[in-house]
Structure 1
Amino acid sequence: MRRLALIGLAGALAVSMSACASQRDSGGSGANDTLVFGAAGAPKNFDPIFNDDGESFRPARQMFDTLITYKPGTTELQGALATAWTPSADGKSWTFTLRQGVKFHDGTPFNAAAVCFNFDRWYNMKGAAAQSQMIYYGDVFEGFAHNEGDAGGQPVYKSCEAKDDHTAVLNLNKAKGAFPDAFGLTSLSISSPDALKKYNADAVTQSGDSFSYPAYATDHPTGTGPYKFQSFDKTNNTITLVRNDDYWGEKAKIGKLIFKIIPDENARKQELAAGTIDGYDYPSPADYNALKSAGDQVLIRPAFNVLYLGINQKNNPKLTDVRVRKAIEYAINKDQLVKNKLPTGAYAQNQLLPNNVPGYTDAVEKHNFDQAMAKQLLNEAGAAGMTLNFYVPTEVTRPYMPNPVEIASAITDDLKAVGLNVNVVQEPWNGGYKDDVQKAGKQDLHLLGWTGDYADAGNFIGTFFGRQKAEFGFNNPQIFSALSTADAQVTADAKKAAYEQASVLISQYVPAVPLASSPPGIVVRANVHNLIPTPLTDERFYTVTKG
């Protein structure tokens, strides 16, 4: 039942210099007992179920645990709050044996009743709360008890039974190929039922495309993780977490963990040089040599992501013609883009899956760089000289997209070279871009990507195209059905074959242009040890020491 694993990376990629014995034993003191990490953006909030981006998940992963997690440095499953997980023969129920002696940060016990409370909470959400958490829960569980607005579909979740304090049984309406891997999603972290009720966790309100969150999400996140929430100082842009001395597992080596929000990459680099932060994520590939020369450690993760040029068919009728979408792909020189704008180890893509995920196949229809073919198809479709609104994010660095403005500039030049007019619209990542692209669908083209949450094709192409979405603006029942069929397969071989078929269909339809997959880096100072980079970009800081 387990997916393809990237095994053995932890040892090779971990920062292996050992700290002094007293640092290891006591967690350090003074400056060595505080780690300051430069974050590229502010979190949306701290309730995992309502989030969908790395900057929100980074602090959440330190405060919360999931039932199942991934071995450090790999995508291989290992126990977390559950020590064992067993499916029924038909894949429609999962029995979890739960870890004993675990407490939430508020001192209340973790048990099967708490697990079922969380699953029931997610399933019974409605209104703004359901709309706000659709990206992960909606993709995995497909529907809610009360489907409203854009929330639709037949729910996968049926019920949860607490057989005893340490046994929870999850019942499903149908088998789901994403499990058990998807049980490790940060969104499905387990919260304290008492805290959820005390701080009115589901009281989300919506105004247009914006959401406001209750006190649980903003000030009182309560999990079982190695760090506890202390504060979010919005004046100084710092999130402070402190060690959970009652943690059930390996205690955090460093007592205080601070995430300092620094949206500008150059500013993050300068603060690292000044020693005011101890590390930051996604350094520019152009800076790798300079950082190493300064004595910093640049750790490279395996490529486990996809960058794509999204095509929204809703606003421009010409984009509903597959010839036009293929022409856009033919127009882009992906090899040159990879060479000039992405780090060493990146590779051009011809499908929307990394090459280390089952479902990736050489049988896809390929549209390699060919300006003459692009022009021919545009002429045939009567689309030569058409104008496209190209939305591009700013104030962000993503694993698949180290510098979105520069990447977009190269793509724009390629599109103009085949006679297309391009109107570039730049918007801040958390200042309108994601809402306009993913919810309102205002764009014709957009730059976006995805880092895998687990090693399953459904987490990529199923997330993108498993149902109709504003981001892409198309309705293709054949693709939706192929992805649904693949996701229902119980055996690994059957699922792999089904996703390969879906990948071929997607490549023929071109709902988006796959561009590249990149190995993102993370940089820390010379005195930071034992940070284990992971292909999932879900680093946990409890192992880190300084000194």
Structure 2
Amino acid sequence: MRSRSLITAVAAVLTSVGCTQVTPPTVRESRTVSAVFSNIAETKSLDPHLAFASESVLFVRQAYDSLLEYKPGGTETRPALATKWESSADAKTHTVTLRSGVRFHDGSTLDSAVVKTSVDRLLEINQGPATLFGNVDTVETPTADTVVFRLKNADAFFPGMLPKLPIVSKKAIDEHKTADDPWAKEWFTGNEAGSGPYTLGTWERGKAITLNAFEGYWQKFEDGTPTKVTLRTDPDVTTAVQLMCQGQVDMIGGIGTDQTDQAAACADVKAVEQPKLGVNTVFFNLKAKGPVSDVRVRKAIALAVDYKAYLEYFKGRAQEARGPLPPGAVEFEPPFPAFAQNLDEAKRLLADAGYPDGGFTLSYLGLKGLAWEEFFGTLLEQNLKPLGIKVKQTLVAWPQMVSLQGNPETAHDLSFLVLNMVTPDPTSILRNYTTAARADKGGMNWAYYSNTGLDEQLGQISGILDETQRLNVLREAQQSIIDDQVAIWLPSSNIYQPVAKKWEVSYEPIDFVVMVRFFYARES
């Protein structure tokens, strides 16, 4: 087996010393450059150690910096708050050297004690982003500008996770903590204390968050870089498209192909297309007290899906699905077969399971406003009709969707979720199938799938330093998930989003599909 050059290159970076310096841009002009971004959902919290959904990360990446960052629009790791990093030969010790002169928005300065406090806070809160750092054993601060991470187990991909570690002001924690709230979670819910390029201006809940350029940022703003950013919430995508065509919105995140085409047809709008390291996933609820609790029924339903029709929906801007890992993450030899419709086999499996004529109804849950999720619900209804299975489709807003799926008693039989790699480690997406990631524990395992053997495998993969051996275990893990038919894996669409023509911008393929880092956007 072999991996794609992308992952091979990333792995090489992760196990070497990173010494590349980021060249500071020139000082920005005094003019105000405004960018308006529309998203379908709004974050519930501004706390970077709680926020992990796409609408939350959209804010966090603007206000907070991490030790390392990804090159805009890519997966290559490069310096940020740390100027260099080094990994030991056994991948259990990772040392970073901090950048000097970095100030937080509250005026405090960066040092190793601040970084250690951020890690401690993240792990103590133990939500969202903490799932990436459970392997951290100790954090040592031998000098003011040196931080040493010692891991419980070897992890060749650990440096690639550091862009997902937002560093917060220790001063802010100390000033706003209480006896009942030692990590100042209440204060951070509606406030920020980062060192990123933008500070929080206003938050009008349900409508918009405004951000302003941080004058004391350690990098300088080039001309054309946004100095004011507005993060709008527009649950109705049609409204967002109309506003873009009227020149009131500059960028939109996470909308469908048809909606992007509609926006791009306007005079001053273009479409931006990039590869995406994500998978369109339709989870089965394995806790459901009904037919989908039987793996034969789940396989029959998956075999009934017209994958070709779903692929054609994206008009050539998608790739065939071959399992829970996205195209572009890892290439296996031999490759996993692409999924295809087979109604005869579907009927045979249903009969074996005791449902020769179907005779039951499935509930399907999708996100309101996302056309491709609604399209799949309609396609599923058509595909299952010949099997005697009915589908009841429900489309709701994101907060309601999370609430429903977070309780196995209210979770639907099938639910659509776009899963993305969030680090260069392929298991960053597979961990959504672990017991610890179950939805009732705050994770994205909407299937309520539990496989202790898989849990153990996924905990070992990043510590296997031999690439061939690592890919063998990775293949076994993916095969286990496929064999249990935990979900229906649909063709993976590219990032294809509308942007005002005056902007040059990249979406972040490894940081959810709606993500833009505005400091790297340029108005022409």
Q: 1:481 aligns with which of 456, 471, 482?
A: 456
Q: TM-score, normalised by structure 1?
A: 0.83
Q: Which residue of 2 is the match for residue 146 of structure 1? A: none
Which whole-Å CA distance do the structure 1 matches of 2:315 and 2:220 have between them?
A: 34
Which whole-Å CA distance do the structure 1 matches of 2:368 and 2:58 have between them?
A: 18
Q: Which residue of 2 is the match for residue 183 of structure 1? A: 162
Q: 1:436 aligns with which of 404, 420, 423?
A: 404
Which whole-Å CA distance do the structure 2 matches of 1:265 and 1:4 have between them?
A: 38
Are the structure 2 counterparts of residues 204 and 57 from structure 1 closer, same or farther at C-alpha, using a change threshold of 3 Å?
farther
Q: 1:200 aligns with which of 142, 152, 177?
A: 177
Are the structure 2 counterparts of residues 287 and 310 from structure 1 closer, same or farther at C-alpha, using a change threshold of 3 Å?
closer
Q: Do structure 1's residue 508 and structure 2's residue 483 form an aligned pair?
A: yes
AA aligned to 1:433 is: M
Q: Spell out the pairing of 1:515-530 with structure 2 (5 A cutoff).
A: 515-528=490-503, 530=504
Kept after mapping to 2: 8 A contact 1:201/1:215: no
Write out per-residue CA displacement over residues 67-126 of structure 1, whole angstroms, 9 at most, x where no aligned residue. 11111121111111112222223222211111111111111011110110011112233x
SS at match of 1:106: coil
Q: TM-score, normalised by structure 2?
A: 0.86
Q: Which residue of 2 is the match for residue 238 of structure 1? A: 208
Kept after mapping to 1: 8 A contact 2:140/2:148: yes
AA aligned to 2:471 is: K
Which whole-Å CA distance do the structure 2 matches of 1:180 and 1:38 have between them?
A: 32
Q: Which residue of 1 is the match for residue 328 of structure 2? A: 356
Q: Which residue of 2 is the match for residue 137 of structure 1? A: 130
Q: Please list every run of 5 or more consecutive structure 2 residues that lacks an aligned counterpart in the other structure.
A: 12-25, 440-445
Q: CA deviation at 1:443?
A: 2.1
Kept after mapping to 1: 8 A contact 2:44/2:56: yes
AA aligned to 1:434 is: V
Q: Identify which range, 357-366 or 418-427, moves more after superposition.
A: 357-366
Q: CA deviation at 1:179?
A: 1.3
Q: Which residue of 1 is the match for residue 16 of structure 2? A: none
Q: Do structure 1's residue 77 and structure 2's residue 77 form an aligned pair?
A: yes
SS at match of 2:193: coil
Q: Do structure 1's residue 248 and structure 2's residue 218 form an aligned pair?
A: yes
- Equivalent residues, number: 492
Q: Which residue of 1 is the match for residue 383 of structure 2? A: 414
AA aligned to 1:137 is: A
Q: Please list every run of 5 or more consecutive structure 1 residues that lacks an aligned counterpart in the other structure.
A: 8-23, 143-155, 206-211
Kept after mapping to 1: 8 A contact 2:243/2:249: yes
Which whole-Å CA distance do the structure 2 matches of 1:546 and 1:481 have between them?
A: 48
Write out per-residue CA displacement over residues 443-464 of structure 1, whole angstroms, 9 at most, x where no aligned residue. 2211112122223210111233
Which whole-Å CA distance do the structure 1 matches of 2:347 and 2:185 have between them?
A: 49
Q: CA deviation at 1:318?
A: 3.6
Kept after mapping to 2: 8 A contact 1:396/1:429: no
Are the structure 2 counterparts of residues 360 and 271 from structure 1 closer, same or farther at C-alpha, using a change threshold of 3 Å?
farther
Q: Which residue of 1 is the match for residue 14 of structure 2? A: none
Q: Do structure 1's residue 160 and structure 2's residue 160 form an aligned pair?
A: no
AA aligned to 1:378 is: L
Are the structure 2 counterparts of residues 321 and 450 from structure 1 closer, same or farther at C-alpha, using a change threshold of 3 Å?
same
Which whole-Å CA distance do the structure 1 matches of 2:339 and 2:368 have between them?
A: 31
Q: Spell out the pairing of 1:78-97 with structure 2 (5 A cutoff).
A: 78-97=78-97
Q: Which residue of 1 is the match for residue 192 of structure 2? A: 221
Q: Which residue of 2 is the match for residue 102 of structure 1? A: 102
Are the structure 2 counterparts of residues 46 and 5 from structure 1 closer, same or farther at C-alpha, using a change threshold of 3 Å?
farther
Are the structure 2 counterparts of residues 166 and 543 from structure 1 closer, same or farther at C-alpha, using a change threshold of 3 Å?
same
Q: CA deviation at 1:386?
A: 4.9
AA aligned to 1:469 is: R
Which whole-Å CA distance do the structure 1 matches of 2:377 and 2:176 have between them?
A: 43
Kept after mapping to 1: 8 A contact 2:433/2:449: no
Q: Which residue of 1 is the match for residue 443 of structure 2? A: none
Question: Percent same amino acid among aligned pairs?
Answer: 24
Which whole-Å CA distance do the structure 2 matches of 1:195 and 1:312 have between them?
A: 42
Are the structure 2 counterparts of residues 472 and 58 from structure 1 closer, same or farther at C-alpha, using a change threshold of 3 Å?
same
Are the structure 2 counterparts of residues 466 and 202 from structure 1 closer, same or farther at C-alpha, using a change threshold of 3 Å?
farther
Write out per-residue CA displacement over residues 194-218 of structure 1, whole angstroms, 9 at most, x where no aligned residue. 112323399789xxxxxx9612221
Write out per-residue CA displacement over residues 15-74 of structure 1, whole angstroms, 9 at most, x where no aligned residue. xxxxxxxxx8644625xx222222221112111221221111112111111111111121
Kept after mapping to 2: 8 A contact 1:43/1:56: yes
Q: Which residue of 1 is the match for residue 277 of structure 2? A: 304
AA aligned to 1:387 is: F
Q: Which residue of 2 is the match for residue 148 of structure 1? A: none
Kept after mapping to 2: 8 A contact 1:305/1:452: yes
Are the structure 2 counterparts of residues 59 and 26 from structure 1 closer, same or farther at C-alpha, using a change threshold of 3 Å?
same
AA aligned to 1:350 is: R
